[in-house]
Structure formats: structure tokens, C-alpha cells
Structure 1
Amino acid sequence: MIPTADLYDEHGDALQSLALQLRSFGGHPRFAGPIRTVRCFEDNALVKSVLATPGDGAVLVVDGGGSLQTALMGDLIAQSAVDSGWAGVLIHGAIRDSVAIAELPLGVKALGTNPRKSAKEGVGVVDEAVTIDGVVFRPGARLFADEDGVLVER
């Protein structure tokens, strides 16, 4: 994968740059793919169900409202994502089981960690555009992530 700095140098403002500082947790610090989205708040049922479907190299962007009160993904859901062929997951919220997730061949970026489980009611929406820190993540647009940050096609 081309480093995000080089991609930005080549494509400039055709790419949005996420200024929000996310931590990298997965075994693959560099990942890219077409975007799918989930918007939910302290409820990971939709995250779990989407990541259990064929990913075909996609990246799931989860707008969890920035909440760090509960984890939206743990090691079992992350393993399901690997088994289903997802390239990565970006979570505007927290994860848990970070040590186990670091061993998986999956890109994972999130705000932080919290061992507390989330609700499982399935409240939220799937595959609608979400905005995180001013960057619009549209289903089907490509996302590029590495150690320097996250870029998204406009």
C-alpha cells in the first residue's frame, strides 16, 4: 500500500484527511478498502452482524458518537471480521480485548479501550454516510489508513 503521505501528495484535496487522532490496535497498521458504515451508540449488535457478512476487503467505519463508555468491538467480533474477509475497522469509540486484537491480521483504529460490554439491541443504521470530525465517510468510497493517519476519497 502506498503511504498516506504519498497518496496525499499525489491527490491533494481529492482526499479528505481525518485530523482526529485514532490509536492503531490491529495486527495490520496499514489497510485500505471500500467503506461500509454503521452508526450506533453504545450498542454493537449491528457491528457484529455486519462484520459477520462477507467483507471482500472492505473497511467498516463505525460512528459510535465518540463514546468511550462501552466497547463496540472485542476479539470475537474482530476474529469474525478476519474470517469474513474484512480489511479493517475504524471505530469512533472504544474497543476491548486490545492485546488479542493486536495479534489478528486486521486493521483496527479506534479512540481507545474500555472492558465494558455494550448493549445488544441492534439500534442504529447501516450503510448511510457518516461524518466524523468533519470527514464524510460514504459507503463505497475508498479509505486508506496507516501509521500517519486516515484518508478518504471525497
Structure 2
Amino acid sequence: MMRQSLYSAVVCDALDGLGFTNQSPRTQLLSLTVDEVLVGRCRTTSWEEIDFEDPAPYELELQAVDSCEPDDVLICAAGGSMRSGIWGELLSTAAKNRGCVGAIVDGAVRDISKMTAMGFPVFATARCIYDSLNRQRVIAVDEPVEIDGVIFRSGDLVLADQDGIVVVPQEIEEQAMRNAWQKVHDENITRDAIIDGMLATAAYRKYGVL
């Protein structure tokens, strides 16, 4: 129901109304695979760039994927690095098999066409063909991460679509979702009134929604 009716902008507005005014990264994290609303629970990973032979290649990223639970969204905080494509087809396949519903990557990804064919939602900063082996690695799982000044914590609700990405802290999730549903309702009434001929100024005066 949430995937069909809610969207990132209205949730961001609801968070604004609660005083949480920095819950959506302004950096360009674009949908690179499928055009749908991604909704799930954050599963965070923190990445670093390396320039040596990794003694335990892919270790923590594989652990993160294998420990995914249904409705998880993998959050890859890599500081926007273009050093390699840290997410691709095989990780998407493994994550999807565990019930993961998508990935948000503050960095580069590869295997775009294959992930698109899988129907696996991936939001990322860019594309990069290089393998992450000996270029980047996961250094922490399930610890708070930061993307463009916004904090993501494992278990937080996250929504992503063509407008952007918004994360909802667990401690205010219930109220934020209630307010978001109310705004969707109010926007629908306002839209119908405008379609029926009411001027936008009059509709705003009457319903207080824009």
C-alpha cells in the first residue's frame, strides 16, 4: 500500500512539519534501473577506497548481503567515490534472494542492464565499469552512515523515487507516516478542486496545501 500511495516528496514534507528538515540528501542519487517507488528498511554499509591487495576481498560486503532480511534496502555509503562500481548484478541477485528490495549507493555501480532486467531498484551517483577488488571495500555494517549530511541508520524507513531519497528515523516514524497520509489525502482533494475549475489561489486558501 505504501509503495502505491506514498512518495518521497510528501514524506519529506511530513518530516519538515515535525522539525526534521535534513532527511533527504541533495546529492544526485538517481534511479538507474526501474521506475518505481522503493520502500524498505535501511541496512547500512560503510565503504573506503584502498590501493593495496585486500587480504579478505569482498568479506564484509558479502556478509552484509547474506544477512539481509525481507524488505531491507542496502545503503552503500561510499562518499560518492568513482573509483569502482561497488554494486552490480551478482550482489543484486544475492540480495534479492534474501528478500532485499533495492540498493542505494552513494558511489558508482555497474551491470545496469542486467539489474534492470532483474527488476531490482538501484539508486546511485554514477556508473563505473571497474571492479571494486583492491579499489574499495566495506569497513562497517549496521553502523550509522552519512550521505551528504543525512544520517542513515539500520532499521530506519527509507523511500526513494524519481524525486529523491528520504529517510525516516524510527523514533518519529509513526507520526511522520500519519502526517504523510493526511497530506496525500489533502492533496487529492485540492487536485480534484482545481480540476473542477477552482483557481489555484482559492484552492490553497481553502485547503492550505500546495
TM-score above 0.5? yes
Alignment of 1:95-134 (within 5 A): 95-119=109-133, 123-134=138-149
Aligned length in residues: 154
Task: Say whether residues 1:50 and 2:64 are aligned partners.
Answer: yes
In 1: Cα distance, 2:29 partner to 2:15 partner: 22
Partner of 1:18: 25
* Counterparts in 2 of 1:49 and 1:27: CA distance versus 1, 3 Å: farther
Task: Say whether residues 1:142 and 2:157 are aligned partners.
Answer: yes
Partner of 1:3: 7
Alignment of 1:36-115 (within 5 A): 36-42=43-49, 45=58, 46-115=60-129
In 2: Cα distance, 1:27 partner to 1:108 partner: 8
SS in 2 for 1:112: strand
Shift in Å at residue 103 of structure 1?
1.7
* Structure 2 gaps, min length 5: 51-56, 170-210
Which structure's CA Rg is the greater one? 2
Q: Choose the corresponding residue for 1:34, options 13, 23, 41.
A: 41
State the one-letter code of the partner of 2:81.
S
* Counterparts in 2 of 1:42 and 1:48: CA distance versus 1, 3 Å: farther
Once structures 1 and 2 are overlaid, which stretch shifts more, 123-132 or 5-14?
A: 5-14
In 2: Cα distance, 1:153 partner to 1:123 partner: 24
* Counterparts in 2 of 1:123 and 1:24: CA distance versus 1, 3 Å: closer
Shift in Å at residue 41 of structure 1?
2.0
Which structure has the highest helix share of the two? 2
Shift in Å at residue 40 of structure 1?
1.3
* Counterparts in 2 of 1:81 and 1:123: CA distance versus 1, 3 Å: closer
Identity between Structure 1 and Structure 2 (%) = 30
SS in 2 for 1:80: helix
State the one-letter code of the partner of 1:72.
I
Does the 8 A contact of 2:44 with 2:75 survive in 1?
yes
In 2: Cα distance, 1:141 partner to 1:29 partner: 20
Q: Choose the corresponding residue for 1:151, options 166, 183, 203.
A: 166
Once structures 1 and 2 are overlaid, which stretch shifts more, 114-123 or 127-136?
A: 114-123
* Counterparts in 2 of 1:105 and 1:123: CA distance versus 1, 3 Å: closer
In 2: Cα distance, 1:100 partner to 1:145 partner: 20
Does the 8 A contact of 1:38 with 1:128 survive in 2?
yes
Cα RMSD over matched residues? 2.1
Shift in Å at residue 102 of structure 1?
1.3
In 2: Cα distance, 1:148 partner to 1:21 partner: 10
